Amino acid sequence: MPSIGRHVGRLLAGFAAATLVMQLGGVWSGAHAQDEVKIAMIAPISGPWARQGELMRLGAEMAIDEINEQGGIKALGGAKLRLVVADAGDTAEKAKNAAQRVLAQEPDLIGGTGAWLSSFTLAVTEVTEREGLPWMTLSYSDAITERGFRYVFQTSATGGAQARAALPTIVELAETTTGKRPETVALIMDNTAAPVSFAKPMREGLIEELGLELVVDEMFTPPLSDATPLVQRVRSARPDIVMLLPTAIPDDKLLLEKLHEFRIRVPVVANGAHIGAPELLDTVGKELLEGLLFIVPAWGIKGQEEMIERFEQRTGEPWITQDSITAYGDVWVLKEALERAGVADREKVAEEIRRMELTEGPGAAFPGDVRFLENGRRAEAPILIVQWQNGEPVTVYPPEYALAEPVWPES
Instruction: Tell me, letter by letter, the H, E, C secondary structure of 84-121.
Output: EEEECCCCHHHHHHHHHHHHHHCCCCCEEEECCCHHHH
Instruction: Answer yes or no: do 276 and 331 share one domain.
Output: no
Helix (H, G, I), strand (E, B) or coil at 157: coil
Strand partners, 79: 73
Condensed to tens digits (0 to 9), the pLDDT of residues 371-408 reads 999 999 999 999 999 999 999 999 999 999 999 999 99
Q: Does residue 21 register a pLDDT over 80?
A: no
Give the pLDDT confidence score for residue 360 in this predicted structure: 85
Asked if the structure places residue 170 within a domain, the reply is yes
Instruction: Answer yes or no: do 246 and 345 share one domain.
Output: no
Give the pLDDT confidence score for residue 93 in this predicted structure: 98
Calpha distance 322→401 (Å, rounded) = 14
Q: Does residue 22 register a pLDDT over 80?
A: no
Calpha distance 95→326 (Å, rounded) = 19
Instruction: Answer yes or no: do 56 and 122 share one domain.
Output: yes
Q: Does residue 289 register a pLDDT over 50?
A: yes
Helix (H, G, I), strand (E, B) or coil at 34: coil
Contacts of residue 308, defined as CB under 8 A and 6 or more positions apart, other chains included, come to 300, 319, 320
Count: domains in the chain? 3
Report pTM.
0.89
Give the pLDDT confidence score for residue 32 in this predicted structure: 47
Calpha distance 291→174 (Å, rounded) = 12
Asked if the structure places residue 204 within a domain, the reply is yes
Measured CA angle at 250 (ends 247, 256), to 5 deg: 90
Condensed to tens digits (0 to 9), the pLDDT of residues 169-200 reads 999 999 998 999 999 999 999 999 999 999 99
**To the nearest 5 percent, what fractions of the chain are helix, strand and coil?**
50, 20, 30
The pLDDT > 90 percentage for the chain reads 89
Give me the mean pLDDT over the 111-122 stretch: 97
Domain containing 236 equals 160-296+385-397
Q: Does residue 147 register a pLDDT over 80?
A: yes
**Confidence grade of residue 18 (pLDDT, cut at 50, 70, 90):** very low
Give me the mean pLDDT over the 207-214 stretch: 97
Helix (H, G, I), strand (E, B) or coil at 308: helix
Instruction: Answer yes or no: do 132 and 20 share one domain.
Output: no
The mean pLDDT value of the chain amounts to: 92
**Confidence grade of residue 286 (pLDDT, cut at 50, 70, 90):** very high
Instruction: Answer yes or no: do 358 and 341 share one domain.
Output: yes
Instruction: Answer yes or no: do 230 and 318 share one domain.
Output: no
Asked if the structure places residue 403 within a domain, the reply is no
Instruction: Answer yes or no: do 265 and 167 share one domain.
Output: yes
Instruction: Answer yes or no: do 144 and 40 share one domain.
Output: yes
Asked if the structure places residue 62 within a domain, the reply is yes
Q: Is residue 95 a contact partner of residue 42, using CB atoms and an 8 Å limit?
A: yes
Strand partners, 135: 112, 152
Helix 322-341 and helix 305-315: axis angle, to 10°? 110
Helix (H, G, I), strand (E, B) or coil at 6: helix
Give me the mean pLDDT over the 60-83 stretch: 98
Calpha distance 49→323 (Å, rounded) = 11
**Confidence grade of residue 410 (pLDDT, cut at 50, 70, 90):** confident
CA dihedral (109, 112, 115, 116) in degrees, to 10, reads: -160
Instruction: Answer yes or no: do 63 and 111 share one domain.
Output: yes
Give the pLDDT confidence score for residue 33 in this predicted structure: 58
Asked if the structure places residue 407 within a domain, the reply is no
Instruction: Answer yes or no: do 45 and 145 share one domain.
Output: yes
Q: How many other β-carbons are positioned within 10 Å of the β-carbon of residue 400?
A: 11
Instruction: Answer yes or no: do 345 and 246 share one domain.
Output: no
DSSP 8-state secondary structure symbol assigned to residue 39:
E
CATH number at residue 220: 3.40.50.2300
Asked if the structure places residue 409 within a domain, the reply is no
